[in-house]
Structure formats: structure tokens, C-alpha cells
Amino acid sequence: MQPKTKRMIVVAGIVVSILCACMMRSNGQTKPTQPMKLNAGIATAKLAESKDFYTRVLGFGVSFENDFYLLLHTPDGRAQISFLLPNHASQQPVFKPAYGGQGMYLTIEVEDVDAMFARLKALGTPLAFDVRTERWGDRHFGLVDPNGIAIDIVTYTPPDHH
């Protein structure tokens, strides 16, 4: 390879590196990020009740289950939630305490909140509040799972600018 060609390759490499660094900085990143998935986990003795609620009421599927752990997925498979029996011998101390029943909520975005609301009403599911449209753009209703976790079922709509 001729020296001129080697120099051009080195210069091209430097330019590409600088462009990548500039693009990352313009996105507020200082280093490349790795892909991530989030799985919210709840330590609870109510594994059976949680399974029934999330599968029957919300249409989740079972990804994995054993005597102390339950992993569920949304109907489209894009998100998961897990339930773990508290104080299980297989778990590290940080994962042993049971969830206390307050101060947590989940938001589940659906395409048609009114259809979901009608379906849950027909099932006789107790609701925390009926479907409503907020001026900031949420059309939603709420319910509570067997563990005391508030669930906001929402379809996002344009905000009301009045």
C-alpha cells in the first residue's frame, strides 16, 4: 500500500471517529449505551392472585413460572413484570423483603382505552376511577392489582390547550 493511501485511510478513520463523538455529544451521551430492557419486579406472597389478575384481567402471558417466581409479559411481548415470593432462600437479602403495598404505580399504554375500559367493566373488575380525559393529554382510567399497585391504563391524546 502506498504512503498516500495509508494517510487517506488514517485521515478517514479520524474523521469518522470525530463525527461519531460529535453525534454522541449532541445526543447528551458521552459514551455509547447498551440496549436495555426493564422488568419491574414485585416481592409478594400473592403469586397466584397476581397471575390471575394480570393474565385474566389484562391479558398478559406467562413467560416463566416456578414455586417462588412468576414472569409475565404483555400481550405483545414487548414488556415484562415479575413477582417473587418474599424471603425465599434462593434470593439475596436485598430481594427478600415484601412490597409494602403503597407508593408504586404502573402505566400501561393501550391503543383504545375505551375498549379496554368497557372490557374490564364487563368483567366486573373493580376500578379506582372511570375513564376520563385530562387536559394534559391522557385519556385513562385506573385500577389496583392484588398487591396494592396502582395501574393507569392510558391512551395518549393531544393536550387540551384551553
Q: Supply the pTM of this predicted model.
A: 0.75
Bridge partner list, 106 = 151
| DSSP tally for the chain: helices H, then strands E | 3, 8
Instruction: Read off the pLDDT band of 116 (50, 70, 90).
Output: very high
> Between 119 and 19, whose confidence is greater?
119
pLDDT classification of 125: cutoffs 50, 70, 90:
very high
Instruction: Provide the mean pLDDT of the chain.
Output: 85
Is residue 110 within 8 Å of residue 116, measured between CB atoms? yes
Domain made up of 104-162: CATH architecture: 2-Layer Sandwich (3.30)
CATH topology (fold) of 37-99:
3.30.720
Average pLDDT over residues 87-115: 93
4 vs 88, higher pLDDT = 88
Long-range contacts of 46-49 (CB under 8 A, 24+ apart): 46/83, 46/146, 46/147, 47/83, 47/85, 49/146, 49/147
Contacts of 148 (CB under 8 A, 6+ apart): 99, 101, 102
